[in-house]
Structure 1
Amino acid sequence: MEFLIIFLIIEIARALIREGCSYLIQWLKRFMKKRKHKKYRPYCRGKLKGGPKK
């Protein structure tokens, strides 16, 4: 019985770690995308309008 309980706890921990890691990776990807967009948006706007506003 003890072995089964330990095995179940390990399996639950593995599942939680997998979900946590995938969630963290998705969050990091979103965060990086947001950062990139903020950096490149002004350049794109300037090119589309034919030059910078300055």
Structure 2
Amino acid sequence: MLYCGKGITQGDIVRKFGVSRSFISNIENGKTNPTLSTITNIAKALGVSSDELLK
């Protein structure tokens, strides 16, 4: 998980974007496909490009 190395927790992402912890977990586990907007927002929060986030 890219955010772990950034000092950001899953909880931080949940609070910032108003999504559930299970939604983030499902994205991480490939069970949910996030929208482009969600990808862009999470990438911005992590300070990385959308491409880097999707690797």
Same fold (TM over 0.5): no
TM-score bucket of the superposed structures, by smaller chain: under 0.3
Normalised to the residue count of structure 2, the TM-score between the two structures is 0.25
> RCO (CA 8 Å, sep 6+): is it higher in 1 or 2?
2
Normalised to the residue count of structure 1, the TM-score between the two structures is 0.25
Which one has a bigger Cα radius of gyration?
Answer: 1
